[in-house]
Structure 1
């Protein structure tokens, strides 16, 4: 069997090697944002360029490089693509059953102001789904719901991505933090507490940020009480949960707190003006780079066009029935996230092999040596405990409650599969690049270069996590990729490793909104396939500002406010 030893400085100049390793990232940004290339085509060319660099610069054998690409593509289709497919399918079912108009009606009864709707769905509800499932589910569901409520497709995707960025560190019942602790050898409870002393600072401004994107200062000023209540309630619950109640439940507790606080506020206060995209006639104030909503409607079409309810009123039972697929989804996801449930189907704990698809990837398994240790290359998917299966089960139960016939259910699924065919190709390619970047050493090269910045490392620690999430699309993966590097580098420059590892995770949050996988999810959910570049241009400015702010927070905590580091 052919083996190959991973190299991290193939050109004998770390910064030059890092530049070459970053070329696929530069190309992808150019292809999407400047050339406006279709997402699946940009993805295919990016993985081609990365493969050539791995082979001809890093010296990775061709067979190992290609099978690494294939392994990553499998991981892209399941579990990531599986979640996207079922998430959009859930939305399409409610539309096909004629229930989304009732959902819109019920939300309008809480508030028919789209600023409030964005706070409830893109900010709070998606954080709940992030905490329970993660892996693209929140963006797929929130973006689809927003577009059904009449948001322009670009704004539906962009707002879902921006608003859902900060909860990512505590997503999937805290898996990113658990992974960071496992890889770094540090206490995950301390890492979670540290992240809970960074992210709430940004959480306070996220509601303002979202509404400012929608309509500038005038729009934000009109819902100031709602912005304050949602931001403060979420941030306070986020801090308390991560530091005192357990980081695993942080997103769940914070999101439900924010939803409850916002609804209670709306019982005693309403915006004086009703703000909607439909009522806007000019370029969005304060956001000159974005086209008018009318132009956005022409640039992309939603899976179904929003229509007026025409004054129709619905009973409480009708509203409950319409919401049942999402209520069922939340309950099923919570069940799926329980450890005792996972243990029932865990092959390592005696469950049948039937529940797991697992195989060693030929050629690449045990072929890449890192520090003299052969690396496993295993595809493993417990298909029954996968988040996609949880949503699929919810669609079956929801379909039964909605009275969907098997024929209509299957026809809707086939329609969804056709709708998402090209986004799934893009997701497979992006995960192939993530796998190749990790196994070839390209990701480590970029991380090592930034770790050589000395006293400024505390500022750059979040940027390493940012690069990792851009490459992998996952905060969990970036913690697995760079967690140990952050620990070693922090000790070398004299800062607390707990801070560095936590910053790796929090910095990664800012990249979630621009990671190619996330953009592909947003494009698929809003039927903007081929316009991924528009979504990237929408989110990239906010992403860069967020990671810059996290870098400043990290540096201040390392050198000025050291008392903020737990156990310091």
Structure 2
């Protein structure tokens, strides 16, 4: 038995093809190219694209990287399990909470309430997708903002593909500080042992990220109104977009550098929402175009059916609901905020992180060593059944059903219907995470990272791209930081670059891979009832992902020179 175990043990080799990282990278990138070509060019359904790409990754792992068949399959099984818990566990239960509001009729009440703030769909995109989505990202992360905001946008009249595109693009600037800054905490953990620099801790790294993503935040609301209504949208609603972006960015910088890294997105999202609401008291767009008629794309000329605004407000009347019904409509989201806030209080969070509430175990039979000869931490599976965001969402759902007076039978029926609606996204997410784990544990991801690291001093430009690749594959900035954080720091040491800058760039660049991640595409498509059309959504957002990534690459490069080098924290 001992001989069998030793025979199955696998150690990662970064350059299995002729001892060449460059040649090995050609094979390592095959599954990723397969995935993006199937989605973006051949319009294959996401679940099928994910499964085919997983098979390609397994073949490369077994034949090129000499990973034992059993270890490769076990790696895929762990990834699939992680895809369901905690990721799908969050999404499924978040959408169930939304479905409860639909069953009770209170989602219509919420929609009318938001219409009273502004009937303009371009402003609603800023408030719902950017501000409220950032708050959900701060509290839960892992796809929850996309799952919730996309259905809210549809309820407000957004066509499905446009709603999905807006929700995905909005879910960028807040991601690095999502789930109470879990990505930053992870980054601090994995980089602390990779170099002796005392600045490599969560606080300093959070401060550095807080000097990158706020600049991105100023741009994102402008991109949103451009996606919703083209040039006309930017021309008519730029005051609201700039106010939202500037206030969010300023608050994100101040909170991450001087208040609290975990509370960064909570402070920024609430400040931005308040600023937009206050602005709308003294300013309104010159017209409110009807953009709910088609999903053919944003128009650049005034559409028929536009409602001119005069005297600072639209002329159309919106039905007013009783205050108690409005309060109930907002109750589910207030409940979510309260539950997550309580669960993340220091003593409670610490208690829930241990048995019996959280169990950590080595994935049965999986025995993988890193290139350094030490066991991979990713072979340990964390099953936090109670503190998991998805479980907290179930608690929120039960309380929501009580507040909205939904019978237990109707609530259970809605829960079953949620699984049925998400059956294809469930397969997609599990396949993509299985792919990610095979790439990581076979060494294919290490090969890609090492290949990019050969660029030397030019790597300062490529560092954000590495984070982008990590998030595009795994769907998680946390996972990307765990995967590439140490590599960024080690490469910085070899190339004479600042390790804090490159580590932060991994997280800041990574957030821009979120919108093209098959995992998040599947979540968005499933939420709008368009499972199988993930490729259509991908084509809508991939250009914006590339443009914003280039923006971040240039910013990080300038921060690595005397031009903006003063932005890097000099003391821990």
User: What is the alpha-carbon root mean square deviation over aligned residues?
Assistant: 1.9
1:167 aligns with one of 171, 174, 185: 174
The equivalent residue for 2:64 is 57
Matches within 5 A, 1:236-251: 236-251=250-265
Whole-Å Cα distance in 2 between the matches of residues 126 and 369 of structure 1? 37
Q: Name which of structure 1's ranges 51-60 and 196-205 shifts more when overlaid on structure 2.
A: 196-205
Alignment map for 1:358-373 (pairs within 5 Å): 358-364=360-366, 366-373=367-374
Work out whether residues 170 and 220 of structure 2, in 8 Å CA contact, stay in contact via their aligned partners in 1.
yes
CA distance in 2, matches of 1:178, 1:282: 42
Q: Distance in 1 between matches of 2:498 and 2:451?
A: 20
Structure 1's consecutive aligned runs of 4 or more residues displaced over 6 angstroms after TM superposition are none
> Which runs of 5 or more structure 2 residues have no equivalent in the other structure?
193-199, 304-315
Q: Within the alignment, does 1:273 sit opposite 2:263 as a pair?
A: no
Change (3 A) 1:239 1:428: same
Contact 2:160–2:295 under 8 Å retained in 1: no
Report the counterpart of residue 298 of structure 1 in structure 2: none
Where does residue 267 of structure 2 map in the other structure? 253
Structure 1 stretches lacking a partner, 5+ long: 293-308
SS in 1 for 2:560: helix
14, 25, 31: which one pairs with 1:8? 14
Deviations 1:439-464 (A, max 9, x none): 11111111111111122111001111
Indicate if the aligned counterparts of 1:423 and 1:529 stay in contact, CA closer than 8 A. yes
**The residue matched to 1:268 in structure 2 has which SS?**
coil
Q: Secondary structure at the match of 1:379?
A: strand
**In the aligned structure 1, how far is the partner of 2:567 from the partner of 2:86?**
37
Q: Per-residue deviation at 1:385? A: 0.3
Instruction: Note if contact 1:437-1:471 (Cα within 8 Å) is conserved in structure 2.
Output: no
How far, CA to CA, are the matches of 2:426 and 2:456 in structure 1? 41
Q: Residue 89 and residue 449 in structure 1: after superposition, are their counterparts in 2 closer, same or farther (change >3 A)?
A: same
- Counterpart Cα distance in 1 of 2:416 and 2:439: 34
Q: Is the 8 A contact 2:244 2:273 kept in 1?
A: yes
Q: Map 1:217-366 to 2 at 5 A.
A: 217-278=231-292, 283-285=297-299, 312-347=319-354, 351=355, 353=356, 355-364=357-366, 366=367
SS of the aligned residue for 2:381 comes to: strand
Does the 8 Å CA contact 1:360/1:378 hold for their aligned counterparts?
A: yes
Q: In the alignment, what sits opposite 2:484?
A: 482
> CA 1:286–1:35 in structure 2 vs 1: closer, same or farther (change >3 Å)?
farther
**Correspondences of 1:346-495 after superposition (within 5 Å):** 346-347=353-354, 351=355, 353=356, 355-364=357-366, 366-375=367-376, 377-495=379-497
Instruction: Calculate the TM-score normalised by the size of structure 2.
Output: 0.92
Residues 1:357 and 1:188: Cα distance change in structure 2 (over 3 Å): closer
Q: Taking structure 1 as the reference length, what is the TM-score of the superposition?
A: 0.93
Question: Residue 178 of structure 1 contacts residue 188 of structure 1 at CA under 8 Å; is this kept in 2?
Answer: yes
Partner of 1:47: 54
- In the alignment, the residues of structure 2 paired with residue 331 and residue 499 of structure 1 have an alpha-carbon distance, to the nearest angstrom, of 35
Where do residues 206-225 of structure 1 align in structure 2 (5 Å cutoff)? 206-225=220-239
1:83 to 73, 77, 90: 90
Residue 35 (str. 1) matches residue 42 (str. 2):
yes
* 3-state SS in 1 of match to 2:75: helix
Match of 2:262, SS state, is helix
In structure 1, how many angstroms separate the alpha carbons of the residues matched to 2:364 and 2:328? 49
Find the counterpart in structure 2 of residue 191 from structure 1. 205
CA distance in 2, matches of 1:345, 1:502: 29
Residues 116 and 318 in structure 2, CA contact (< 8 A), matched pair in contact too: no
Decide whether the 8 Å contact of 2:159 with 2:295 is kept in 1. Answer: no
Contact kept in structure 1, 2:368 and 2:441, CA below 8 Å: no
Q: How big is the shift at 1:269?
A: 1.6
Count matched residues: 543
Describe the superposition over 1:101-160 as per-residue Cα deviations: whole angstroms up to 9, x where unpaired: 111110011011101110001001110111111111111111111111111111111111
